[in-house]
Amino acid sequence: MGFDACGIAEATALTDDELHLRPWLAEGCHADMGYMAEHVDMRYDPRMLLPGARSVISVLLGYKPSQRMEGKAKIAQYAYGQDYHERVKGMLFQLIAAIRKEYPDFETKPCVDTVPISDRAWAVRAGLGWRGRNTLLVNPELGSYCYIGELVTTYSSDQYDIPMENGCGNCHRCVEACPNSCLVPLENGDYWNDARRCASYHTIENRAETLPDEVRLSGYAFGCDCCQLVCPYNIKAATRYQLSDSDKDRLEQLADADEATFKKATRHMALNRIKYAQWKRNISF
């Protein structure tokens, strides 16, 4: 189907060591993202999402671009091209159709970041990478530049994949590179992202007319890549998306676009997650 990696995990409930969600919520690190506090039990247990679920098939699709944006309104690299929700979900439906040619009664629920399931935690359990100090999934070949999707299914597997060992070692580049110190160390050695400090949260999820004075956006108007740019795995990762000079220019010209142009240009991009007023707020901050 074109995915870069695939793994299968048994659909039993995640633990707090795998997901971190309940303690993260208890500390208020979700800021005003109230939806993160909804369906918490379902986020831990996919059997509540699909009754009778026995397996979670996780897939990765790399997105490292051939070049990066410049200028006064940078966009996180995952949002350069087509909205990943549309792209990955379309590929998942193709995968379902292919599986059903062999197993006509294959029952499944496709997931791409829009249902209450933890993409990262299931990819880790399926042996596709580990949870890096930047709190993102890190794959040895793709780094953290990868989209994640799942098929939660009632089918079982003869053999489930084994989780990888954490490959970050003593590297703390991502933690040191964060302009807002939003990667917070935990007692067990893990890290979590305090959204109240995160530039990505403030440029996308924060709908207020103004942003806190102490937040540093580092030139980003949508998302932030500061913690990813310094990761050794991302530096050596192969290019998976060809960003042409003309498309790069088009993205950079959005900094001066009027509302109608912005809406038309971003209709099928992840960038349509924010409204034009937020876009202009972020640029002028």
The catalytic site residues sit at 113
Spatial separation of the C-alpha atoms in residues 138 and 183, rounded to whole Å: 15
DSSP string, 201-254: HHHHT--SSS--TT---TTEEE---HHHHT-HHHHHSPP-B---HHHHHHHHHG
Structure tokens at 144: 């953290």
Residue 283: its H or E element = helix 276-284
Q: Round to whole Å and give the CA distance between 125 and 10.
A: 8
CA 224 – CA 215 distance, rounded (Å): 12
N- to C-terminal Cα separation, the chain: 42
